[in-house]
Structure formats: structure tokens, C-alpha cells
Amino acid sequence: MPEVFEDDIINCLAVLKKGGIILYPTDTVWGIGCDATNAHAVQKVFDIKKREQSSALIVLLADKKDILKYVAAPDLQVFDFLYEQTRPTTIVFENAIGLPDNLVARDGSIAIRVVKDPFCIHLIKRFRKPLVSTSANLHGEETPALFKNISLEVQQRVEYIVKWKKESEEKTQPSQIVKWNKNGTTTIIRS
């Protein structure tokens, strides 16, 4: 791996372990992230976004099997569904477990995406915990497609900004979001 990649991983780990906030490239758009198991860190993300806690955040995992740690009795068909997806897909699961109350929606659901991006996979696996990810913009503002479009206000409120892919001009888009229903059917929330 390039030196900047490894340096970014090390710096992110140091910030995340202290309950800090990072600005990082995900498998979709640039994200504001933190330790998804730390309620105080999750609150900081809401504060940066200027967003109410009633709006859910996404949890990133590095491996499909980790869904079993954060969702009580998921429908196993979801694993086949995820395998078939060709673009980043966030699944809204019922019955979240092991995550702070301020991250879980009022109905007990949680939005989870298993990432395919090498940087995110390395970071999550080395951190050994899931990450929060939400687009790097203030609530209600347009999602920035490139790092250069992220507001200075957001940049100044995080503890670490990843250098990896910072200069990239590759346009990205948010994930599709699908709610997994009890009967094994899906409802498209965002395509």
C-alpha cells in the first residue's frame, strides 16, 4: 500500500480510539465518521451535521458476517441479496443490537452497509469496530461529490482529514438504501 494510505490508517485509528471524528473517503461519497459503538462520538457527528438524532446514520462494516453482531436474528436471505448487488447498498435492518441508542432509529432499526472500498475495509478491520458514516455536509445541504466540494465548516470540525483520494476527481454517488422487511421482501428507500 502507498505510504499515505498507511499513514492515514494509523492517524484515523488514533483519532477513532479517542472518540474523535474523521473525514474520510468511503465506497460511496466522502463521509464524516466515528466509532459506531461510542454514543458520545455519535453525538459529535450529529452536532457537526447540525442534524436531529431522529435522522438515522449509516454503520459501515468490513465483512457480511459482522451483521450478526449488530442485528438480532437477521433473515439469512439478506446475505444472498448483498452478494448479488453490483453497487454499494445500505440495508435497513430491524432489531439493532450492540449499538448506542442515539445511533439506532426510534423503531429499533439500523442502516448497515458492508463496504468494498480497500481503505474502508482496512480501517474497519484494524479498528475492530464498525464506523459511522454520513455524507460530509451540513444537514439539508447538497452531498459533495468530491473532497474539494466539502465546506470549510465541516473540515474544521473534524479531528482528522484523510489524504487518500483527496485529490480524486472521480465523481461518486450515495449508496442505494433498501429496507429489509420481515417477510423477506425489500422496499427501496433510495435508488
Q: Give the pLDDT of the chain (191 residues) as one tens digit per residue.
A: 678 899 999 999 999 999 999 999 999 999 999 999 999 999 999 999 987 776 679 999 999 999 999 999 999 999 999 999 999 999 999 999 999 999 999 999 999 999 999 999 999 999 999 999 999 999 889 998 899 999 999 999 999 999 999 999 888 888 999 999 988 889 999 98
Q: Exposure of 68 by Cβ count < 10 A (0-12 exposed, 13-18 middle, 19+ buried)? A: middle
For domain 3-190, is the CATH number 3.90.870.10?
yes
Domain parsing of the chain, residue ranges: 3-190
Place of cell 474544521: 156
Residues near 78 by beta carbon (within 8 Å), at least 6 away in sequence: 67, 91, 93, 180
**C-alpha span between 188 and 179 (Å, rounded):** 6
- How many alpha carbons lie under 13 Å from residue 112 in its C-beta half-sphere? 28
**C-alpha span between 187 and 119 (Å, rounded):** 30
Residues near 29 by beta carbon (within 8 Å), at least 6 away in sequence: 135, 136, 143, 144, 145, 172, 173, 174
